[in-house]
Amino acid sequence: MRHRPRGENIIRFDSVGLRYGLGPEVLQDISFALPSGSFHFLTGPSGAGKSSLLRLMYLGLRPTRGRVVLFDRDIASTKRYELPALRRRIGVVFQDFRLLDHLTALDNVALPLRVRGVKESEIRKHVPELLSWVGLADQLGARPSTLSGGQKQRVAIARAVIGRPDLLLADEPTGNVDDHIAMRLMYLFEELNKLGTTIVVATHNELLVQRFAHLPRLHLEHGTITRVRDQGPPPEPAP
Amino acid sequence: MMFRRHSDLPLAGDATSRFLPWLVALMVFLASMAVAGAFVISGIIDRWDHDVSGTLTVQVLPAGGDQAEAATEDRVRLAVDVMRKVPGVVAVKAFDKKRTLALLEPWLGGTEVVQDLPLPRLIDVAVDPTARVDLAEVAERLAQAVPGASLDDHRVWLSRLINLSRTLQWLAVMVVALIGAVTAATVVYGTRTGMAVHHGIVEVLHLIGAHDDYIARQFADRAFALGISGGLMGLCMTLPALTAIGWASKRLEGGFLPSLSLPIMGYVTIGLLPLLAGGLAMLTARLTVHGTLSRMP
């Protein structure tokens, strides 16, 4: 992980617009910058464009207009073969987990390391360790179809963080788990944030946002950022 | 073990894995037949070319009258003398009547009726291949000196035969190319289908930072394995067929057909076809995946 000095922008959007095909713009004039080491909520009602905005951030889409700068690289002028290196600096927790059903929990988590060509000995060392850390030490060989929603979510999170990303994007990471696990996941994200990872958590769970009211938030409505709230008071200590 | 090396893409269960080997097997079988045909034709052309290059044939019509036999012999002797004096001629050999009858025996049989026929006599003339012989002038001189004698240099009929053979040879090459194109098109279709079926997995790999070649290699490796296995199946079908054709051709008597034996290079080329099929499948799959992924952001 190549953490940058806190405060430098890790990602910046300038007047970004996005439309699918010939349809209407789902995102309009999006402009914001996320400092390195920051932790933001991305909020907004369903259909506001949170997932589309996240997809732009993890380079799953190209904007139809505007400028996206990620890790100081203007994405529009970045060569296609250079993009995998940028993607490897981003961890993504997908809303629907997107685990590979034919692979075990361990192989799913190992995937980002394997695409980087990390040695199997390293994988054998680090992956079980991380799965133990998220409470899945006894599920290393389990396939996703046999795991509960919460367990799948933890596997997805482990996969997103195994490469120690500079930027972690999580799309509704607490959507399928009970409150207790949701809080544990949030504290896990906070721990990662303390280690230097910039984090964006998309959610429409207002209760969760209120519990972490000290975190700034990007609020999306009708495809436009309507509010960028500053950092609030520090959180209550973890239970 | 938990750490068994899995493929990231579950390609083994795809429909392509079931139909591609059989299709490649059929294609390799057909390509083998075309390759065998091309080699056999090439061998035949070489043999014909070698057999008749540097040779001329003088045909002497039989004389009529009471002393026909003696007069014909005189004509043959005269023709032999004329040909021996031609610069560049290295050997002249007249076929006697017995030999001529032996040449005709496979077609006309050996009955007494045939022996009584007024058969033309043949003179085989060997020419130094490097010598430039004015055949028109020789033919004219021969016709003036020997009544009923004519010169045949084989070139006209041979060139037509060789042209036909070369056309067939090119046809065989085109058949092989066409088979390769059909195989490649099938691999393209199978690979695209596989990418569509596993689009979700391909997208996850893409988004976690896999290079295009990392994904393409998995499809290519699978296509290579399927191509090789199909190719070997095709080879297993080919060898008995070639053996049967060779055996059947040997049973033909009388030299109506030239030998259909396949040279060693023919067997080597056919033996390499499964590898070529695997390589073609691998390359096609790889290029197809790269082409499809290039449309992803």
Within a domain: residue A201?
yes
| pLDDT tens readout for residues B100-152 | 888 777 777 766 777 777 788 889 888 887 777 787 888 888 888 888 888 88
The mean per-residue pLDDT over the stretch A162-178 comes to 86
Same domain, A107 and A78: no
Same domain, A62 and A176: yes
DSSP A42: E
The mean per-residue pLDDT over the stretch B12-25 comes to 88
Residue A223 pLDDT > 90, yes or no? no
Same domain, A150 and A180: no
How many whole angstroms separate alpha carbon A175 and alpha carbon A178? 8
Q: Which residues span the domain enclosing A33? A: 7-89+167-231
Tell me if B8 and A114 make a contact (CB, 8 A cut-off): yes
**Stretch 163-222 of chain B: residues touching chain A, C-beta under 8 Å:** 200-201, 203-212, 214
How many whole angstroms separate alpha carbon B22 and alpha carbon B227? 9
Q: Which residue of B has its CA nearest to A92?
A: B208
pLDDT of residue B129: 74
Residue B201 pLDDT > 90, yes or no? yes
Per CB-CB distance under 8 Å, the chain A contacts of B211 are 81, 84, 115
Which candidate in A16, A87, A92, A119 is best for mutational testing of the B interface (most B CBs within 10 A)? A87
Of B204, B207, B214, the CB nearest to A100: B204
Same domain, A83 and A11: yes
Of A85, A103, A123, the CB nearest to B6: A103
- Give me the phi and psi of A2, to 5 degrees please: -105, 75
Within a domain: residue A236?
no
State both tokens at B257. 């057909």
Cβ atoms A53, A11 nearer than 8 A: no
Per CB-CB distance under 8 Å, the chain A contacts of B214 are 115
Of A58, A107, A115, the CB nearest to B214: A115
Boundary-marking domain end, from A138, A164, A190 = A164
ipTM of model: 0.88
pLDDT band, very low/low/confident/very high, at A214 (cuts 50, 70, 90): confident
Boundary-marking domain end, from A141, A164, A187 = A164
**Nearest 10 degrees: Cα torsion A107, A108, A110, A112:** 140
Give the closest-approach CA distance of A235 to chain B in angstroms: 32
Give the closest-approach CA distance of A89 to chain B in angstroms: 8
| pLDDT tens readout for residues B234-285 | 999 999 998 888 888 777 655 555 666 788 899 999 999 999 999 999 999 9
All structural domains of chain B with their residue ranges: 11-50+158-293, 62-147
| pLDDT tens readout for residues A13-45 | 999 999 998 889 999 999 999 999 999 999 988
Of B203, B204, B210, the CB nearest to A84: B210
How many whole angstroms separate alpha carbon B230 and alpha carbon B20? 7
For residue A79, the domain's CATH number is 3.40.50.300
Per CB-CB distance under 8 Å, the chain B contacts of A85 are 209
pLDDT band, very low/low/confident/very high, at B174 (cuts 50, 70, 90): very high
Q: What is the 3-state secondary structure (H, E, C) of chain B?
A: CCCCCCCCCCHHHCHHHHHHHHHHHHHHHHHHHHHHHHHHHHHHHHHHHHHHCCEEEEEECCCCCCCHHHHHHHHHHHHHHHHHCCCCEEEEEECCHHHHHHHHHHHHCCCHHHHHCCCCEEEEEEECCCCCCCHHHHHHHHHHHCCCEEEECCHHHHHHHHHHHHHHHHHHHHHHHHHHHHHHHHHHHHHHHHHHHCHHHHHHHHHCCCCHHHHHHHHHHHHHHHHHHHHHHHHHHHHHHHHHHHHHHHHCCCCCCCCCCCCHHHHHHHHHHHHHHHHHHHHHHHHHHHHHHCCCC
pLDDT of residue B175: 93
Return the higher-pLDDT residue of B260 and B39. B39
Tell me if B208 and A88 make a contact (CB, 8 A cut-off): yes
Of A88, A98, A111, the CB nearest to B8: A111
Boundary-marking domain end, from A113, A134, A164 = A164
Question: Which residue, chain included where needed, has tokens 């009970």?
Answer: A178
Per CB-CB distance under 8 Å, the chain B contacts of A59 are 207, 297
How many whole angstroms separate alpha carbon B289 and alpha carbon B220? 9
Which pTM value belongs to this model?
A: 0.77
Give the closest-approach CA distance of B189 to chain A in angstroms: 24
Q: Which of A133-142, B97-106, B208-217 has the highest mean pLDDT?
A: B208-217
Establish if B73 touches chain A: CB-CB under 8 angstroms. no
Tell me if B297 and A141 make a contact (CB, 8 A cut-off): no
Within a domain: residue A11?
yes
Q: Which residue of B has its CA nearest to A168?
A: B208
Within a domain: residue A73?
yes
Cβ atoms A91, A161 nearer than 8 A: yes
Per CB-CB distance under 8 Å, the chain B contacts of A163 are 208-209
pLDDT of residue A17: 94
Total domains in chain A come to 2
Residue A217 bridge partners (DSSP): A41, A229
> How many beta-carbon contacts under 8 Å exist across A and B?
61
